[in-house]
A and B are shown apart, each in its own frame.
Chain A
Amino acid sequence: DTEVTQTPKHLVMGMTNKKSLKCEQHMGHRAMYWYKQKAKKPPELMFVYSYEKLSINESVPSRFSPECPNSSLLNLHLHALQPEDSALYLCASSRGSFHMNTEAFFGQGTRLTVV
């Protein structure tokens, strides 16, 4: 299984809503990532979890709250978002080995629209 699965695929939410994005992988990867991608732009790193601990927060606003319940799951909790937060949110995972560079596998993404 070389899949990173994200749900939902599409999400429309109002600015007062609370929603969560989910990501799951069963490759035994110990590093998981959230990226944000706007149209015609490269993915921008938001958060990195390494061995279920938050390792990097790229100065992301607190209305985005990541959570890693276990080594296979990664959530992104959303609250009080703004229309400019509309984007494709990509989850990725990699082996997380300390001795080798390993590729990152991306999920299909959640296309989020904030209205």
Chain B
Amino acid sequence: GENVEQHPSTLSVQEGDSAVIKCTYSDSASNYFPWYKQELGKRPQLIIDIRSNVGEKKDQRIAVTLNKTAKHFSLHITETQPEDSAVYFCAATFSGGYQKVTFGIGTKLQVIP
């Protein structure tokens, strides 16, 4: 089965700095890589995703890069703000009608004002 490793497990940055979270996956058949943000006591919410036919995707302050050869993908948050503080999960899945999503262990991001 798929195995997703994520690091770091915790990350503290000053407001305005950038944050980078890295993940690796094991199953070369995985072709969809979502990133979820989960605030304390709330549901995981998709913030960005990337499909295996794309190397990079950007949405305002958030970007994700994918290296299929190396089987790793990364989340980049620029100009961090206190409201970015949350737990971020990377995930990998092969989607063939439904998703058997494997989550990384999560990164607790703290943005210090």
In the assembled complex, the Cα of A108 lies from the Cα of B43 at a distance in Å of: 5
Q: Are B43 and A104 in contact (CB under 8 A)?
A: no
Q: How many A-B residue pairs have CB under 8 A?
A: 64
Q: Are B98 and A90 in contact (CB under 8 A)?
A: no
Output the nearest chain A residue to B96 by Cβ-Cβ distance. Answer: A98
In the assembled complex, the Cα of A28 lies from the Cα of B51 at a distance in Å of: 22
In the assembled complex, the Cα of A106 lies from the Cα of B36 at a distance in Å of: 10
Output the nearest chain A residue to B108 by Cβ-Cβ distance. Answer: A40
Q: Are A31 and B98 in contact (CB under 8 A)?
A: yes
Asked if A45 is an interface residue, CB under 8 A from chain B, the answer is yes
A101-B32, A101-B93 known; A42+B99 contact, CB < 8 A: no
Count residues of chain B with CB under 8 A from any CB of chain A: 25
Which residue from A33, A96, A104, A108 sits with its C-beta under 8 Å from B97? Answer: A96
Residues of A within 8 A of B44 (CB): 43, 90, 106
Output the nearest chain A residue to B102 by Cβ-Cβ distance. Answer: A45
Q: How far is the CB of A106 from chain B (nearest CB, A)?
A: 4
Q: How far is the CB of A21 from chain B (nearest CB, A)?
A: 14
Query: What 1/0 flags go to A83-108 for Cβ under 8 Å of B?
Result: 00000001000101110111111111
A98-B96, A100-B95, A101-B32 known; A106+B45 contact, CB < 8 A: yes
Select the residue from B98, B102, B103 with max chain A CB neighbours within 10 A: B98
Output the nearest chain A residue to B34 by Cβ-Cβ distance. Answer: A103
Q: Are A101 and B31 in contact (CB under 8 A)?
A: yes
Show 13 residue pairs from A and B whose CB-CB distance is below 8 angstroms, ordered by the A residue.
Answer: A33-B99, A41-B105, A41-B106, A48-B98, A56-B100, A97-B97, A101-B51, A103-B34, A103-B49, A104-B46, A106-B36, A108-B43, A109-B43
Q: A100-B95, A102-B99, A104-B46 are in contact. List 6 more A-B contacts (CB 8 A).
A: A42-B106, A43-B44, A55-B98, A105-B46, A106-B36, A108-B43
